[in-house]
């Protein structure tokens, strides 16, 4: 999985992955343009930017305009390290965070709209698992005929979140890879009890009536890799230096490490194939949103919205102010005339394998 992602990134934007050929619609103009296909890896900065803008545009066009609150659910450092060796449990974290909010809402007979994003990284690329959750500060009442307000308090959310995680780890004991010091169920339970007695950090941001702030914030990290290219300050083949914001001191710092350590820090955050970093719950859940979202729009007196796809020409035009499908010679439109299929991932894997061994590549 890690190797495949790195190979895709190395081939991104090259003819190796295939390309599309465009020609000028003007019969008297001979201009042609080649557009190479992207790798579509979630770990690629270029493809991550495109996916980010598409996701942000989709959410901003679909989410209802109401009061939203951003909540961050964190775990103690020791539990994060347990999850690093047991990544099969990561898929449960978003569900449990949403479950905490849904339980609070259910007591008031309300169904809110929720979307979550799982992060495994800190600003300095260390393993730091936490869940970002955005929820409406209101929702559909039980009979779905009125919109009712909601309020969330840290003192009630924190123990609920702590209980859900500890309960998950207790029940998963038989499937876990644990250090020798926690080799028995008794030792494991005793260790979990110690962490259950400690306060955990659940951060509630100030509620906002504009969901776009949450969407834009999360979008920067959800669809992009953990480190933007703009943060890389130095690389000489042996040493890597990158900048990051220290949340504790609120100052910008520089982190220096070897190239090998940097790759280890970076690639540990590549998600498993098919793993969904973004998930939706409440009236935004995929199985009910088609039925419930129109009711939400009506109750909030808003027009029904549909997500509009954002294509690559629109992205380039928005970023650089240039329409890539306008001929640079005569200003006519370019039209697609041919698609050339690129190499498969197996072929790319063989290519890089022989390149690494400095052996001739078989035909």
pLDDT in tens, 326-356: 999 999 999 999 999 988 888 888 877 776 6
pLDDT of residue 220: 65
CA–CA gap between residue 105 and residue 140 (Å, rounded): 10
Element holding 315 (H helix, E strand) = helix 312-320
List, in sequence order, every beta strand (DSSP E) within the chain: 18-24, 32-36, 68-74, 110-111, 113-121, 127-136, 138-141, 147-149, 202-204, 232-235, 239-246, 251-258, 278-282, 334-341
Q: How many CB atoms lie within 10 A of CB 177?
A: 10
CA 286 to chain centre: 17
pLDDT of residue 352: 74
CA 299 to chain centre: 31
Planar angle of CA 250, 219, 82, nearest 5 degrees: 70
pLDDT of residue 358: 60
List Cα–Cα distances, 220 to 57, 117, 266, in angstroms: 13, 11, 17
pLDDT of residue 269: 87
CB 221, CB 55: distance < 8 Å: no
Residues in a beta bridge with 147 = 140
CA–CA gap between residue 70 and residue 135 (Å, rounded): 7
pLDDT of residue 277: 87
DSSP-based three-state secondary structure for 331? coil
Comparing C-alpha atoms, which of 217, 222, 204 is closest to residue 278? 222
pLDDT of residue 228: 80
pLDDT in tens, 88-142: 999 999 999 999 999 999 999 999 999 998 999 888 889 999 999 999 999 999 9
List Cα–Cα distances, 105 to 150, 162, 204, 294, 359, in angstroms: 7, 18, 16, 20, 62
pLDDT of residue 336: 94
pLDDT of residue 28: 93
pLDDT of residue 1: 66
List Cα–Cα distances, 22 to 13, 92, 313, 334, 342, in angstroms: 16, 45, 13, 6, 17
pLDDT of residue 249: 80
pLDDT of residue 94: 96
- pLDDT per residue as tens, the chain (363 positions): 678 888 888 888 889 899 999 999 999 999 999 999 988 887 787 777 777 777 888 888 888 889 999 999 999 999 999 999 999 999 999 999 999 999 999 999 999 999 998 999 888 889 999 999 999 999 999 999 999 999 999 999 999 999 999 999 999 999 999 999 998 999 999 999 999 999 999 999 988 887 777 677 766 656 667 888 888 899 888 899 999 888 778 788 999 999 899 888 888 888 888 888 889 999 999 999 999 999 999 999 988 877 667 788 888 887 788 899 999 999 999 999 999 998 888 888 887 777 666 655 454
List, in sequence order, every beta strand (DSSP E) within 186-315: 202-204, 232-235, 239-246, 251-258, 278-282
CA–CA gap between residue 9 and residue 3 (Å, rounded): 10
CA 201 to chain centre: 21
DSSP-based three-state secondary structure for 107? helix
How many separate helices (H) and strands (E) can be counted in the chain? 11, 14
Give the residue extent of every domain in the chain.
1-41+314-358, 63-226+269-305, 228-267
CA–CA gap between residue 355 and residue 344 (Å, rounded): 17
């Amino acid at each position: 999985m890690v190797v495949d992602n790195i190979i895709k990134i190395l081939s991104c934007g090259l003819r190796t992955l295939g390309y599309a050929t465009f020609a000028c619609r003007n019969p008297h103009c001979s201009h042609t343009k080649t557009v190479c296909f992207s790798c579509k890896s979630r770990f690629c900065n270029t493809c991550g930017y495109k996916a980010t803008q598409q996701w942000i545009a989709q959410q901003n066009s679909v989410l209802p305009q109401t009061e939203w609150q951003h909540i961050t659910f964190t775990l103690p450092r020791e539990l994060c390290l347990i999850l690093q060796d047991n990544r099969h449990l990561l898929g449960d974290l978003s569900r449990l965070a949403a479950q905490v909010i849904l339980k609070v809402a259910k007591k008031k007979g309300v169904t809110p709209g929720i979307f979550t994003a799982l992060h495994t990284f800190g600003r300095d690329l260390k393993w730091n698992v936490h869940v970002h959750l955005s929820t409406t500060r209101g929702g559909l009442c039980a009979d779905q005929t009125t919109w009712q307000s909601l309020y969330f308090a840290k003192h009630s959310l924190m123990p609920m979140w702590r209980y859900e995680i500890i309960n998950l780890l207790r029940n998963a004991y038989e499937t876990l890879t644990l250090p020798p010091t926690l080799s028995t169920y008794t030792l494991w339970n005793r260790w979990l009890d110690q962490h259950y007695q400690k306060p955990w950090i659940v951060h509630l941001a100030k509620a906002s009536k504009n969901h776009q702030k949450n969407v834009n914030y999360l979008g920067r990290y959800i669809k992009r890799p953990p480190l933007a290219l703009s943060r890389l300050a130095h690389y000489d083949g042996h040493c890597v230096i990158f900048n990051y914001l220290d949340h504790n001191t609120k100052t910008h710092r520089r982190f220096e490490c070897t190239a090998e350590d940097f790759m280890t820090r970076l690639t540990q955050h590549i998600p498993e194939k098919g793993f969904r970093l973004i998930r939706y719950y409440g009236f935004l859940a995929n199985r009910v949103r088609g039925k419930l979202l129109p009711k939400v729009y009506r109750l909030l007196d808003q027009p029904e919205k549909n997500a509009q796809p954002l294509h690559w020409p629109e992205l380039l035009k928005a970023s650089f102010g240039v329409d890539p499908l306008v001929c640079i010679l005569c200003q006519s439109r370019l039209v697609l005339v041919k698609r050339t299929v690129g190499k498969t991932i197996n072929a790319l894997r063989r290519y890089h394998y022989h390149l690494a061994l400095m052996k001739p590549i078989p035909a």
